[in-house]
RNA sequence: GGGGUGGUAGUUAAGUCGGUUAUAACGCCGGCCUGUCACGUCGGAGGUCGCGGGUUCGAGUCCCGUCCGCCCCGCCA
């Protein structure tokens, strides 16, 4: 309250000063004082130093808003010197040298310096002196060369605008954090979210959203050019438990019943295929009531695609084209003509991940057959014995102490829970320095070194356990070494490494039986359909993920269009006929009426934007994101609803924590 | 549900072993300054140390609880 009053005082003082300045000026030079009044017809503060006009019909009363801007704040260059311009924008910085005042004016296109020269601008000067950071203003003036004072750091640094008139659209309270100091982020995450509209003014975030917008536009252009139809699916859909938790929306017209917010348009896009839409896409919001992460928000945006008569290649080709075009147009990066493909089994065997980062080597070396008969208990008991061989040129930092830390890492439950980490440092002449020397014969050690390509100075890191533990532990270790040894930069590969991972298992076995790895509409490989009856765990899916630098940015599959196959999959998942009919009856019914074979994919628009922008959090590419607890600090959402509305929806509180409990 | 980490002026941070008036930078307010560009310079104001309780002669600091931000595991078909 006092703060606001202060600002208003400052502002009205400015009016008085500028009036005084106007009154004291040589009136013969000015148009009548009434024309140079301090408030424009639109109610904005304005100070005008009238130009000598050839046509008296131009009314100086007209606001600069009416005039409109002639350029954005990133447009002017040396070639524009002499031009008369109108700029709108925010006061980025002010440098008040007393008589001479510099203002940098910012909009989303750039920053331009404005100079208020008392010798030339007269009464405008007094108003200019009242400007503060983030005032929203209009400036009218002449583009002049900066002469010997050019600023090579700014695209507009050759020139500046010599102000003739200034109009303050609105003043600004001192900001809760600095918008102009963008390079060094000077705000806490909480404040950034509370004042998101200010955070979004920062040039770096503006760049992210320009990029995101271009990506969305390119998606529409590229896919539409290829004959895809942009179609919409409902957000309010039938609640089907299983999979991600749904947000529920109570139905007033159907008391006690709920819609679910769609966690994906999956079923509807398949029905589009049944409907003959052939090639569909949508830039679509999805909602999942799961815990948040740095790269997971409860609502996020997918580029959703489905095509009829699909094969994996026919889905992947247009996606590759879209990605290639986006990287070319937005980042000016040429991507390879075809992205490499790895089966899931290969990806796991070589990288211990279904989304491997292939920007650096450090692939797993399988030692199982070499050490199985070694007689060493640790190895004879393990189904999978694999190693990472850190090349000599990168291995120097791996001291005993560092290896000790890595051992603790792989023992953690979340990194696989390995029982330990065996290691060996290769010395001159190939001799091992390792706790294993007393357990392994020289022949076996030599054979391991040879297979791993170990040379003097190399370090071997070995995990022996079951499939899951060995691969997860070494996969975690591989990424840790990537970061701590800076392996990506040292590898020197192109910075964008795309990869298709294919042939995922159709099911995962859990305590409660089989669950879909992808979703229950994913088609098994044609040659694996028979296995559905005999060994579901072995069935591979016609599913594919698109991976970029170790991040899953999309996933899709060929769908089941045969009701007999769909029935077998449902049965394997343990659904009985009643459940199937209740959840998916309408889909199976649709499949009775001539469904085309079909398949598709969904790409994560947020994640792709994040990676393209070089951002480290999904929040930096989502305009109004939620906190990790799923709240919006700016609006205070979620919130309670009033009793009247709750009664209308037949909703009461049950088991809600009460105050003080 | 679990693990980690943080919360001190408008903002970002420092604050030692528990001890004098809680410190700095930026921002804000006032003065000076006609070529700055993170302008400079002189001065000033500004604090519920997240909140509640406890230990103590004395708590920003130690203990217990709680709220909130962030990171991770589980979870995300």
Pairing of strands A341-343, A498-502: parallel
A462: enclosing H helix or E strand: strand A459-465
Distance A40 CA to B17 C1' (A): 65
pLDDT in tens, A465-478: 999 999 999 999 99
pLDDT in tens, A399-437: 888 898 899 888 887 788 888 899 999 999 889 999 999
Residue A30 pLDDT: 28
Q: Are A206 and A250 in contact (CB under 8 A)?
A: no
Residue A58 pLDDT: 36
Distance A118 CA to B33 C1' (A): 14
Tokens representing residue A488 in the block: 């990506």
Q: Give A47's pLDDT tier (boundaries 50, 70, 90).
A: low
The single residue listed with the structure tokens 């139905």 is A251
Among A529, A614, A537, A541, which residue's Cα sits nearest to residue A565?
A529
Distance CA A454, CA A428 (A): 11
Strand ranges in A30-158 using DSSP code E only, listed in sequence order? 45-48, 84-96, 101-107, 110-116, 136-145
Min mean pLDDT across A39-53, A196-210, A585-599 is at A39-53
Distance A642 CA to B58 C1' (A): 49
Nucleotide nearest to A521 (CA to C1'): B77
Query: In this structure, is the CB of residue A153 within 7 Å of any atom belonging to strand B?
Result: yes
Query: In this structure, is the CB of residue A115 within 7 Å of any atom belonging to strand B?
Result: yes
Distance A191 CA to B53 C1' (A): 29
Tell whether the model's pLDDT for residue A17 goes beyond 70.
Answer: no
Q: Specify the pTM.
A: 0.89
Residue A37 pLDDT: 38
Give me chain A's average pLDDT, please.
87
Q: Are A472 and A415 in contact (CB under 8 A)?
A: yes
The single residue listed with the structure tokens 């026919």 is A314
Query: In this structure, is the CB of residue A293 within 7 Å of any atom belonging to strand B?
Result: yes
A568: enclosing H helix or E strand: helix A563-572
Tokens representing residue A600 in the block: 């598709």
CA separation, residue A296 to residues A151, A211, A604 (Å): 41, 20, 10
pLDDT in tens, A321-375: 999 999 999 999 999 999 999 999 999 999 999 999 999 999 999 999 998 888 8
Helix%, strand%, coil% for chain A, nearest 5: 35, 25, 40
Would you call A367 exposed, middle or buried from its count of C-beta atoms within 10 A (0-12, 13-18, 19+)? buried
Q: What is the mean pLDDT of residues A90-107?
A: 95
Comparing every residue's Cα with the C1' atom of nucleotide B34, the nearest one is: A100
The ipTM estimated for the assembled molecules is: 0.92
Q: Give A448's pLDDT tier (boundaries 50, 70, 90).
A: very high
Give chain A residues 37-96 with Cβ within 7 A of strand B.
93-96
pLDDT in tens, A211-240: 999 999 999 999 999 999 999 999 999 998
**A542: β partners:** none
Query: In this structure, is the CB of residue A157 within 7 Å of any atom belonging to strand B?
Result: yes
Residue A53 pLDDT: 32
Query: In this structure, is the CB of residue A99 within 7 Å of any atom belonging to strand B?
Result: yes
A656: which residues sit within 8 A by CB, 6+ positions away? none
Query: In this structure, is the CB of residue A230 within 7 Å of any atom belonging to strand B?
Result: no
Query: In this structure, is the CB of residue A189 within 7 Å of any atom belonging to strand B?
Result: yes
Strand ranges in A121-219 using DSSP code E only, listed in sequence order? 136-145, 159-170
Pairing of strands A248-250, A258-261: antiparallel
**A107: β partners:** A110
Nucleotide nearest to A193 (CA to C1'): B69
Distance CA A351, CA A354 (A): 8
Query: Which is more confidently placed, A222 or A185?
Result: A222
Nucleotides on chain B that have an atom closer than 7 A to a protein CB are 1, 10-13, 26-30, 32-40, 68-77
Nucleotide nearest to A118 (CA to C1'): B34
Q: Are A69 and A132 in contact (CB under 8 A)?
A: no
Q: What percent of chain A has pLDDT over 70?
A: 89
Residue A183 pLDDT: 67
Nucleotide nearest to A117 (CA to C1'): B34
Distance CA A472, CA A223 (A): 37
Q: Which residues of A516-545 are buried (b: 16+ CB within 10 A; e: fewer)?
A: bbbbbbbbbbeebbebbeeebeebbbbbbb
Examine residue A638 and say whether the peptide bond preceding it is cis (omega within 30 degrees of 0): yes
DSSP A119: H
């Amino acid at each position: 309250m006092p703060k606001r009053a202060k600002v208003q005082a400052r502002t009205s003082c400015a009016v008085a000063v500028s009036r005084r300045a106007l009154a004291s000026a040589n009136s013969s030079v000015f148009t009548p004082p009434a024309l140079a009044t301090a408030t424009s017809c639109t109610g904005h503060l304005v100070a005008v130093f009238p130009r000598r006009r050839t046509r008296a019909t131009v009314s100086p009363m007209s606001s600069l808003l009416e005039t409109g801007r002639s350029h954005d704040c990133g447009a002017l260059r040396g070639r524009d010197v002499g031009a008369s311009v109108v700029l709108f924008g925010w006061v980025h910085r002010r440098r008040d040298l007393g008589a001479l005042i510099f203002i940098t004016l910012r909009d989303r296109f750039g920053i331009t310096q404005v100079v208020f020269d008392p010798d030339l601008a007269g009464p405008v000067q007094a108003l200019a002196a009242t400007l503060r950071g983030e005032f929203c203003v209009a400036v009218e003036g002449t583009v002049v060369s900066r002469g010997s004072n050019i600023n090579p750091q700014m695209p507009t640094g050759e020139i500046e605008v010599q102000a003739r008139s200034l109009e303050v659209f609105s003043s600004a309270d001192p900001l809760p954090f600095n918008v102009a100091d963008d390079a060094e982020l000077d705000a806490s995450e909480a404040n950034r979210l509370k004042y998101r509209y200010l955070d979004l003014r920062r040039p770096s975030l503006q760049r992210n959203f320009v990029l995101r917008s271009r990506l969305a536009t390119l998606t529409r252009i590229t896919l539409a050019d290829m004959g895809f139809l942009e179609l919409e699916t409902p957000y309010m859909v039938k609640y089907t438990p299983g999979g991600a938790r749904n947000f529920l929306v109570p139905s007033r017209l159907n008391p006690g019943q709920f819609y679910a917010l769609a966690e994906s348009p999956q079923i509807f896009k398949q029905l589009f295929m049944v409907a003959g839409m052939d090639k569909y896409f949508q830039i679509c919001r999805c909602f999942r009531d799961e815990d948040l992460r740095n790269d997971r928000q409860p609502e996020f945006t997918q580029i959703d695609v489905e095509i009829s008569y699909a094969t994996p290649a026919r889905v992947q080709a247009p996606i590759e084209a879209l990605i290639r075009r986006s990287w070319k147009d937005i980042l000016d990066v040429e991507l390879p003509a075809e992205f490499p493909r790895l089966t899931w089994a290969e990806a796991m065997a070589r990288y211990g991940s279904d989304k491997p980062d292939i920007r650096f080597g450090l692939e797993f070396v399988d030692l199982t057959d070499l050490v199985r008969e070694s007689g060493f208990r640790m190895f004879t008991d393990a189904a999978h014995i694999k190693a990472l061989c850190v090349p000599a040129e990168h291995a120097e930092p791996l001291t005993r102490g560092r290896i000790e830390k890595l051992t603790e890492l792989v023992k953690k439950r979340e990194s696989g829970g390995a029982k330990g980490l065996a290691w060996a440092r290769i010395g001159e002449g190939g001799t091992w320095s390792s706790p294993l020397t007393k357990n392994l014969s020289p022949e076996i050690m030599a054979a391991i070194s040879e297979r791993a390509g170990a040379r003097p100075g190399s370090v071997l890191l070995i995990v022996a356990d079951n499939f899951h533990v060995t691969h997860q532990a070494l996969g975690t270790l591989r990424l840790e070494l990537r970061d701590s040894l800076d392996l990506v930069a040292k590898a020197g590969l192109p910075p964008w490494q795309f990869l298709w991972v294919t042939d995922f298992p159709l099911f995962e076995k859990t305590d409660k039986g089989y669950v879909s790895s992808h979703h229950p509409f994913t088609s098994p490989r044609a040659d694996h359909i028979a296995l559905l009856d005999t060994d579901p765990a072995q069935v591979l899916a016609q599913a594919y993920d698109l991976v970029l630098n170790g991040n899953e940015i999309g996933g899709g599959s060929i769908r089941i269009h045969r009701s007999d196959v769909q029935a077998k999959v449902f049965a394997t998942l343990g659904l009985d006929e009643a459940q199937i009919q209740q959840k998916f009856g309408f889909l199976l019914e649709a499949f009775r009426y001539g469904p085309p074979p079909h398949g598709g994919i969904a790409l994560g628009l947020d994640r792709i934007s994040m990676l393209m922008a070089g951002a480290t959090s999904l929040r930096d590419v989502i305009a109004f994101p939620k906190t990790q607890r799923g709240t919006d600090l700016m609006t205070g959402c979620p919130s309670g609803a009033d009793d009247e509305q709750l009664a209308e929806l037949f909703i009461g509180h049950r088991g809600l924590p009460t105050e003080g409990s």
